[in-house]
Amino acid sequence: PDEVVTLLKAAKIRNVRIYDADQSVLKAFSGTGLEIVVGLPNGNLRDVSADGDHAMSWVQDNVLAYLPDTCIRGIAIGNEVLGGSDQFSGFLLGAVKNVYNAVNKLKLSDVVQITTAHSQAVFANSFPPSSCVFRDNVVQYMKPLLEFFSQIGSPFCLNAYPFLAYMDDPEHIDINYALFLPTVGANDPKTKLHYDNLLDAQIDAAYAALEDAGFKKMEVIVTETGWASHGDENESAATVDNARTYNYNLRKRLAKMKGTPLRPKNVVKAYVFALFNENLKPGPTSERNFGLFKPDGSISYDIGFPGLKSSSADSLLLSLKV
């Protein structure tokens, strides 16, 4: 973790999300000024939902104990809980409320924001963006959750992947549209808005679903987006070139500090998935190759972030020269 801090500082990356509340990571971030969002894993939702004292203990042990030296700015309650199997759906709102109550009692609610990230599986349809609504089997959980988030001022967190959308339908989606490259784009016949990239359309689809559900003022933040640099034979879009193009152009898009066609005043904010390739992750090869960096701290490809070290080929050459 302390080497990761060095890498983040060199790359001038200031905001990071992790999927648990790992002690060694939180200690390494102490005194660095780097801002971190910790996660309450899905497996903890049942216990935290059932017992306010359990929620309080978790917040005290994993958040309060590290403040203010470690800048913990948020707690993500579960990840992509709704829209898949309903294994944890019934525990999400209770866990959110209990954690928020604990944070509030500890007088941390101005410092630590409570959220949960959703996959696009919560939507019934997302094209054109204006037609997007929440799926029928999700609404019963989503509506009360949004009510509560609306009361406490939390945003809607979306994991948005043009990569996955393109892989799902390469016949109808232009890869340039997915990669922020010049293209004819797409029009929304209802709103008459024009989209020149797929990520903006995915974000506006979320805004349309929120508006349909009665939450027009809620902000959407992209909590994961990225592109795989390597994949299986049937994942031809997962290449180093495409990953470099997507994430480089994403950086340029975010640097413009502008909104989407439907919400021009809401500046697009996004976290890139992921910092590192993950060699132990199950599933197709692409799942293990979303990292901007390799595990040794060298870059996977160049989008302007320096790595901790040059690639292994370079260092081998160097050691031979030495």
Region of 194 (left: φ > 0; alpha: ψ -120 to 50; beta: rest) is: beta
Write out the two tokens for 1: 């973790």
Show the low-confidence residues of the chain (pLDDT under 70). 310-322
| Catalytic one of 35, 211, 219, 224 | 224
What is the structure's pLDDT at 52?
97
The CATH number for 117-310, chosen from 3.90.79.10, 3.20.20.70, 3.20.20.80, 3.40.33.10, is 3.20.20.80
Residue 322: what pLDDT?
42
Residue position matching structure tokens 């293990």: 288
Q: For residues 310 and 47, what is the distance between their CA atoms, to the nearest angstrom?
A: 45
Note if 80 is an active site residue: yes
Q: Is the peptide bond before 65 cis (omega within 30 degrees of 0)?
A: no
Centroid of chain to Cα 217: 21
Contact criterion met (CB below 8 Å) for 244 and 292: no
Residue 265, pLDDT score: 96
Phi-psi region of 116 (alpha: psi -120 to 50; beta: other; left: phi over 0): beta
Q: What's the pLDDT at 311?
A: 52
Q: Residue 186: is the preceding peptide bond cis (ω within 30°)?
A: no
> In the prediction, which pLDDT does 310 show?
60
* DSSP 8-state class, residue 67: T
Q: For 93-124, write each residue's pLDDT tens digit.
A: 999 999 999 999 999 999 999 999 999 999 99
Cα(197)–Cα(261) distance, rounded to whole angstroms? 11
- Under DSSP, the state recorded for 261 is S
Catalytic residue among 80, 147, 211, 278: 80
Q: Where are the domains of the chain?
A: 1-111, 117-310
pLDDT score, position 125 = 87
The pLDDT value recorded for residue 86 is 84
